[in-house]
Chain A
Amino acid sequence: MKMSTAPYDLEQQQQHQRSGVAASSQSPRSPSSSTPFLSVSVTDPVKLGNGVQAYISYRVITKTNFPEYQGPEKIVIRRYSDFVWLRDRLFEKYKGIFIPPLPEKSAVEKFRFSAEFIEMRRQALDLFVNRIASHHELQQSEDLRMFLQAEEETMERLRAQETGIFKKPSDLMQIFKDVQSKVSDVVLGKEKPVEESDPDYEKLKHYIFELENHLAEAQKHAYRLVKRHRELGQSLSDFGKAVKLLGASEGNSLGKAFSELGIKSEILSTKLQKEAHQILMNFEEPLKDYVRAVQSIKATIAERANSFRKQCQLAETVKLKEIDLERQRLHRSEKLAEAEREYHELKTESEQATKTFESIVRLMNEEIGRFQEQKTLDMGIAFHEFAKGQARLANDIAGAWRSLLPKLEACSAA
């Protein structure tokens, strides 16, 4: 096993990930009932509705022995906006934790219902829920339980409520963008200093922003590579057809050789198409997922900045209120009692804000280590699958062409 020297334990990490989580499309297994487990799978995409309002619904199967859940197994039907609801709720409640990313909202219209897109989305949604279910804090979430257990009508009601009170995804995006630019400003040192002065945190922010750029580039080329495989496959197929025609018109043994060449070309064309799909699912998607995860971290960074600002503002306000209170005491004002009450309220609020902020800081520190480990594992798997796929393809190609050689030898002997 050739790995660079590192105390980082891969095996342990893999075990940790798999505890109680089935990240594949089949039904989750049912392990022993003593250890607590929560295992989810997102399957069976089905197109519902008509025309513009058509959408895909998914079957979400939960297997668990958590006491709060109704029974060992439950199946519900969910759609994409339900997942969005869950993500938004978690983001609101669990500040500081990196919420697992969702696949993008919409796609080009004609592509939206293609088999490939649906499968990619299903895979991403499955990953999303499983990551939540295996996160020791997030898995305790009430909202997760609702998502996994509630009847469809309940879910619909919840979803409708949220869009009223909370923000629509598009608004969230806008907030993210605003905050992103604010955070960028902060990172770049443009804004006025209502910012933390933690150098390690600065470094982290810079790292996250840079990382997104690098990853996006890698993902872009990975996607192009998928296209290249498809194009080469198509080209080989056309070439094969033309060569076969040539072989047919030649007629003799040479003609047969041409025909064989044509047949092999067509076979290899199919293999190239298959490999293109493999690369898409096992290499490009994980890279995309990585990019989304980094974007989710950026949202958390924005949230932390908000929280910090709020904490500072409240601290300021409390100080001012304190001074005002003193003044009122000296002047024995009638408003003293009220002022005292307000002061206490503000003080509580301020303390709360500080607690929130500190909690975010603490959680982020835990999260970042876990995130790095998880990503090394995720990427390692992706790289390995990619390598295997390419090796398989190359060997198939070599084998196919080599098998032609004896036939060519026979031709020249003739």
Chain B
Amino acid sequence: MMNHHDFQQDPDDDDGVMESLLLHDEPSNPLQPPPNPNPNPKPDHHHPLLPSTQSPKSPTTFNSFLDPPSYAEAIFTSFDSSSSSSSNGTNHSHHHNRNTLTDELPSRSGSGSVSDYLYIFVSDPQKEQETSASLVPGAATTFYTYLITTRTDLPEFGSSTSEFAVRRRFRDVVTLSDRLAESYRGYFVPVRPDKSTVESQVMQKQEFVEQRRAALEKYLRKLAAHPVIRRSEELKLFLEAKGRLPLQKSTDVASRMLDGAVKLPKQLFGSEVATAGELSEVVQPAKGGRDLLRIFKELKQSVTNDWGGSKPLVVEEDKEFLERKEKLVEFEQQLSGVSQQAESLVKHQQDMGETMGELGLAFVKLTKFETEEAIFDSQRTRASDMRNVATAAVKASRLYRELNTQTIKHLDKLHEYLGTMLAVNNAFADRASALLTVQTLSSELASLNSRIEKLEVASSKIFGGDKSRMRKIEELKEAIRVTENAKTCADREYERIKENNRSELERINKERHDDFLSMLRGFVVNQAGYAEKMAAVWEKLAEETTAYSKEAAEL
């Protein structure tokens, strides 16, 4: 980044003079201020060579060492018109501008009307304190809440108000995410932002809060973009319900650990009649705390799957699925590689722009120097040549920076898809764990059956029957009945998840094709467009120095 401290702070020193020389030499320039309706990019992007509010006026032209570049050239114009979020027709390259909720609205008066929309905005982080008594008296924990504003015309949100807002904290988002993961197994559920990052340790609080706000907004919008999840009860409650979030923190781990109820294995041992409610647990993956024994059994099963001599009774048969999965794995790898290189590319483009700018600056100083000290006409000529070089370099530098902003925007799609791959992996994991449950129950059934067989054989040898054995056989038969019920549920769940996987795969394949195509197009158009602008800058300089060309020398 150009050392903009010199520019902004010291109007008296050399660089400050430079700034004034570079700016506002044409107070009547009809292009000031820039027509961009969102004139305030983030502060660290403030370009020292763009008009600043405190620059002094230099009315006389003999003080200018550079022609101020046309501001039309300096303005951000994206070359491509595509943008995934709806635009109300202005050219703006910074979306997610939190201060203006209006610029995300569809244009009502525009050509097409948008229906079934669900727009979410996250804003206004505020610090709050825990009201409940903390362990250490006098030390209250603080946390941040965010204002979640929703605009929608979806009927389930209540038709009266089209806009409403609630306050939520990050913990609520975790809850939402966990519940969605439970309810929508097999779907590519967008992955929530991390609880803590390395940066959160080193960042300033304000920066971190802002980063979190942006991440939350992105996450909620991804949820709203998912055709199935956007209509979920969980999301609706999260967006709409005032006050405390009425979603239970998923799988009440604490209470289950406390009562030590290990329900499913009890069913397996036939000591209880399974109730409908307990059956539903079959369709949940085994979790820590309550399901110790179940976990143990499923682990044993998975080891059997991997190392056992015989195949498990149920296997992943869907060849098509396996193929697709492998392809996706490969896709993820390649994508990750491209994403890394894209980051590196952006960095080097940035560096190029910076160095070009520094070169321009060095020539500005030389120009000024030679002009002031000139004794010979040859010096004045050289000063003029250097001035042209400086102008070209500064313009090129600015173009590189603009190009980069656009490049980042396009290549960000790559990062997004890496995030999607996480969701995909989770969905595949859901499938695998459901399959494991089915396999475990199958094994259990098989072993129960074989035990009954053995007992029957043994008891048939005793004349008149074997009362204790007969009783045992009855118990086992009961266990089988329960286990069969459980297996039916597990089968159903497994099939359901498989179907979710399939439909989701179809969905993202189509979207992926479109998304990547538009990303490529945007990237290419931008690179070409800015290259052409740069060519114009350098061609101008070549023309200005044409007297020195070999052709001229040979005349």
Contacts and interface: CB of A to CB of B under 8 A. Distances in A.
A210 B369 contact: yes
Interface in B388-421: 388-389, 392, 396
B141 interface: no
Nearest to B527: A401
B338 A246 contact: yes
8 contacts: A10-B381, A14-B553, A242-B334, A242-B340, A373-B378, A387-B545, A401-B531, A405-B528
A386 B177 CA distance: 56
Given A242-B337, A249-B327, A383-B389, A225 B359 contact: yes
Contacts of A250: 331
Contact of B546 (A1, A203, A241, A398): A1
Contact of A249 (B330, B356, B396, B535): B330
A225 B356 contact: yes
Interface of A is mostly: helix
Given A3-B384, A397-B531, A217 B365 contact: yes
Interface centre among B376, B380, B381, B547 (most CB of A within 10 A): B381
Nearest to B334: A246
B512 to A, nearest CB: 9
A408 B355 contact: no
A242 B336 CA distance: 9
Given A373-B376, A376-B381, A384-B545, A411 B338 contact: no
A257 B513 CA distance: 11
B516 A228 contact: no
Interface size class of B (residues with CB under 8 A): 35 or more
A235 B338 CA distance: 11
B491 interface: no
Given A232-B351, A384-B545, 10 more contacts: A4-B380, A203-B373, A218-B359, A225-B356, A229-B352, A249-B330, A261-B524, A394-B531, A398-B529, A411-B517
B555 A395 contact: no
Interface in B341-383: 341-342, 344-345, 347-349, 351-352, 355-356, 358-359, 362-363, 365-366, 369, 373, 375-383
A402 interface: yes
A215 B366 contact: yes
A322 interface: no
Interface in A207-234: 207, 210-211, 214-215, 217-218, 220-222, 224-225, 228-229, 231-232
B13 interface: no
B526 to A, nearest CB: 9
Interface of B is mostly: helix
Contacts of B355: 221, 224-225, 228
A59 interface: no
Interface centre among B330, B517, B552 (most CB of A within 10 A): B517
A218 B369 CA distance: 13
Interface stretch (B183-191, B460-468, B493-501, B536-544): B536-544
A143 B138 CA distance: 92
A387 B341 contact: no
Nearest to A391: B538
A207 to B, nearest CB: 5
B534 interface: yes
B49 interface: no
A238 interface: yes
A228 B356 CA distance: 9
Nearest to A8: B377
B172 interface: no
A7 B378 CA distance: 9
Contacts of A243: 338, 341
A395 B535 contact: yes
A118 B358 CA distance: 28
Nearest to A230: B348
A239 interface: yes
A141 interface: no
B479 to A, nearest CB: 49
B358 A394 contact: no
Contacts of A384: 542, 545-546, 548-549
Contacts of B349: 232
A274 interface: no
B378 A387 contact: no
Given A8-B381, A229-B352, A383-B545, A408 B521 contact: yes
Interface in A355-396: 368-369, 372-373, 375-377, 379-381, 383-384, 386-388, 390-391, 394-395
Contact of A235 (B348, B377, B552): B348
Contacts of A14: 552-553
Contacts of A11: 552, 555
